[in-house]
A and B are shown apart, each in its own frame.
Chain A
Amino acid sequence: MYESPLRRPLITGKTSYAKITDDIVTPIEAAPTKWWYLGFAISVAALGLWLLAVGYLLFTGVGVWGLNKTVDWGWDITNFVWWVGIGHAGTLISAVLLLFRQKWRTAVNRSAEAMTIFAVICAGTYPLLHAGRPWVIYWVFPLPNTYGSLWANFNSPLLWDVFAISTYFTVSLVFWYVGLIPDLATIRDRAKGLRKTIYNALSFGWNGSAKAWQRFETVSLILAGLATPLVLSVHTIVSMDFATSVIPGWHTTIFPPYFVAGAVFSGFAMVLTLLIIMRKVMRLEEYITIYHIDVMNKIILVTGSIVGSAYITEFFMAWYSAVPFERYAFMNRMFGPYWWAYWAMMTCNVITPQLFWSQKIRRNITAVFIISIFVNIGMWFERFVIIVTSLHRDYLPSSWAMYSPTWVEISMFIGSLGLFFTLFFLFAKFLPVIAIAEVKSIVKTSAEQEIAKTAEAEGIDLKEVHPQIA
């Protein structure tokens, strides 16, 4: 298990297996802090707003939204795509980085996956409600049709989307829970009374035997192998909802890779927004180090640059195609009535991530937090620009229209943030936010104390190699 001391430590400070368990399980056993109550109360209040807006929507109909005959996708689909995008980092971290044997993944995968699952739940609410009559949503499944013999249309990207999102949600949830089982057993074996009963039921009788670990590792590896193409397929299929249409601005072959890169970009931004707060509030700085934040920022820089190149490529292709409608659609994005959305998107997504070329900024927590918020906002505007500005001026100028959201749409957006954070606060209170067993498995190679030992044995001056920790 040799690891070069030139590699950066992933667990700082003096550590031990028992200390890792204590650090991560104690917040679950202790009473919630007043910050938790405050955050949870705000989230639940926002969730209440969501229930109010959705209740009104269901009793009245989708006419309460600001949509019209020309702009028939608005904030609903914008928010859907935004949330699905956010839900891309978790499975990417846990699956792709597992296949690449990236050890830094162990500290962030659990919370990132939880975030993925909650984001996909939020995303799912939008098409469900946009369908108009959610009580018959089972019609999207290929059920034996008793109302006639017509089956669901498998030629439609919208139906592919149903399968992609529901598969992604199910597989992410299963992957997450399989990884949770050993850690739930750790909580169980420390607990007494009611908590023991609950965690006993949740941990499925996990015993930590060599055979169980062998199977666990096999299952994790295969699930990672399955989830890797899956995570790429989800936003590819979401992009096909647009790309297979004949709307100028949507009808582009660049959409699948561009959407996937954008999704990873926004997903990592949301992971950073949450983890920067969480590591501070829950005192996890020894596990989620500056180095972890640094590498995630590099991923943001790469994917952000891909997104930026995609924006420019789209413009070039619109000009190069010589199609007047296509050219007009893109000029309208830049200088039309929604110019502010376009320039907000360009500033947040193309310019801000480029700041991460500087290591100083990548390691400045405040700067990273602010930039991550900018990216979240920018990616929301990207979806708004693609959807609304492409639709609002269609082929027939007499049907050109403007769109603005009503209070119902705004409340549903704030409310879906409430739903997301309610779930996240519950997760942070009742489940281990860091994969305990996985972090323990990297102690021997990547803990600061072990690296110091190897460095000493090899006669390497640790202060020189890692000035920030020595």
Chain B
Amino acid sequence: MRLKALLAIFLSIGLALILNQKIGDVPPLGKFLNPFTGFWKNAESLTSKEHQSFTVKKIKNSVEVFYDDQHIPHITAEDDYDLYFAQGYITAKDRLWQMDFQTRYASGRLAEVVGAKAIPLDRYQRRMGMMFGAKNMLAESMKDPISRLILEAYADGVNAYIASLSPADYPLEFKLMDYAPEPWQPINSALLLKLMSATLAGSTDELYMTNVLKTHGKEVADNLFPNYPVREDPVIPRGTPWSFTPVTGAKATADQLDTRQQKVSSSSMSLIDQNTLLTGDKEEGLGSNNWAISSARSSTGYPMLANDPHLSLTLPSIWYQIQLQPPHTNSCGVSIPGAPCVIIGFNERIAWGVTNVGSDVLDWYQITFKDEKRDFYLVDDQWKKTVKKIEKINVRSGTAVFDTVYYTHHGPISVDAEPLDNENNLTSKIPRGAALKWVAHLPSNDLRTFYELNRAKNYDDYRKALLFFTAPAQNFVFADNQNNIAITPNGYFPLKSPEHGKFILDGKYSENDWSDRIPAEQNPSVKNPPRGFVSSANQSPVDESYPYYLNWEFAPYDRGHRINERLTKLEHATVDSLRLLQLDNRSVLADEILDTLISAIQSAVSLTGADREVLTLLGDWNHCYEAKSIAATIFERWYQKIESELWGKWFDKKTAKMRYPNRDRTVALLLDEPNSVWYGAQKSDDIDARATLLTKALREAIQELKEKHGTFGKNWEWGTVNKRQVLHLANIDGLGSAKFPVNGAGRTVNAIREKSGPSWRMIVALGERPKAYGILPGGSSGNPGSRYYDNQLKDWIQGGLKELLFLTDEEGDANDRIVSKITLLN
């Protein structure tokens, strides 16, 4: 009997121990399934609207937080500390897991919670110097009493919320992954801004471009990859005069760079080819739109402003809507969960928004080490010392892996083929790696820009606020209720001579280094241009008359051009006219080339009846990427096939690691160079190589569509072929959205792509008091068990907007859209 008793109790305890553990990806079932502490606790009641109050220690006065019918918090506090404390507290209440996960992701600490599978990613983030950049930013920000105050207050608020939690209250994902939140530090806010830099200013083509140069020579590189876009409709309208005297100081002249680059391109490139630690490809559509129209174009007599930043679409949403009401200001819009202030929004008098500037702020330097110890590297015939940093990556299993990262004066050697295991070290075979110079590593105080914009009263305040901003450079659009509109491509732009950083740079020569920046007040800017609107869509900020070099390539012409084309015709605009422009699905590419493509192959003898039917369908198409359009699907596939047929054999992406010329250049070739050698005429009697190529591409496109989607018909519709889905941030099944068909494509104004798109659509009509509208592809809450997790998604898909509640100081819960209230008591 004793044996049986022992056996039974062992079984009971043993099972409990097993069910208390996460095994593989299965959560600890005992903990997870029990309704007292497990996931059921996160199933929020649909009807709970009660008013709550919590006592927190550090605030000076009580803070009131009103939630509206969209669960958007409106915070009223009496001073800055209390305000940002409350912002931290309230944001954590909705988004704690997202904040924790994103900072772990940024700092290379995911393996601690998800295990060994995250080691390569963690190693990558550390080798990109994410923490290095965040530390530099924090050190600089902490010198500024205001930035220090808001960062510390925010962290105190988050920590007060974390301290109030028992494990039963943890957000769902902590329970799924079986770990606990850790205290929040100001550096985490810096890491989140670094993450924005990584997303928006972290792409690089230098390796591909260097391989292009090496394979095809300078003439081809210049012709197919020109230093200013072939077609451009720049952010600052052409012909706007520059009212400053440019400084000089870009060290390397174009000629010097030329010879240096040739040297690098002929040196041992294989070392970089082997590598897997590369930053992402430039991704089209991962940009944004913004514009402001003057009172002359609007129906209200005041300016209007619109912004839709295109980022990864995830649940929880990237942005967190909030209104902040400290004394002397009242700002509203979206914030980054994990950082203080409103990032995109408006206050009583002004509105502002941002889109990314694709300036070249990330360069690679080929480093010549003295020997395999890599203690010294060569610069101007002198040996400079590297700084070694040992990165310890803790793994969930309790083990740790170590990685040595070498820092030069540029930045870390991100790229080398050294294995993680130092016993097997292959460094003898790899004497050199490339060092990363990146604007995201520079000391900066970017949050101060948003603190100032939140309080800005007029154009001058806006201009002053921008001086604090470093990275990722943004087109800051502005409108106020004193009838001003403006736009400023703004950030830290290194002073570069043309082509500086287009290819991998040789680190042996200090004249290749970044020396200084374009003076912040000489960053391009325009106020109240005669055309009555300002706009940006990630295209080149300037025309060729700007005295400084920013980059050789920007986002393609299409979106920017389309927006300007429509704004030029806009009169008596209402909020709805701007909404319809945000939803514009017209393909500028089709406008420009489709007729030429069709007529180029129309006369080809080899066309079959079926081919001609397809051409008729394309000819009748309205050039809009609507979910119901079959022509859109065919055109898109055809164009992709044209690009790969045209460039694939010359610029092999996979083995030779090259890239294709960009779309603008491709379009120019298709339209203006019908006899170009690049069509690859095989025989001398192949008189129309272009038509041959286009026909082949069309056939392949049709064949591929048939294979993937069956015979021609409804299942070829754009929305059916390209069903979209908003995935969970950690890609956990069930926590993302269902799949849905939707209008729009990466190259249209409504830039919805497979995984990215308008992460926030906002329109503000300025006036005595502003009236604003906005929508998220998700919701306010980060809890998958809340109805506010994705309650805005349906309207977002349909292109709707919701009026944003903008409380006045006195109003509080007297407003009938307020449904509940939280009071933080001191």
Whether chains A and B associate is no
Q: Which residues of A contact B (CB under 8 A)?
A: none
Residues of B within 8 A of A (CB): none
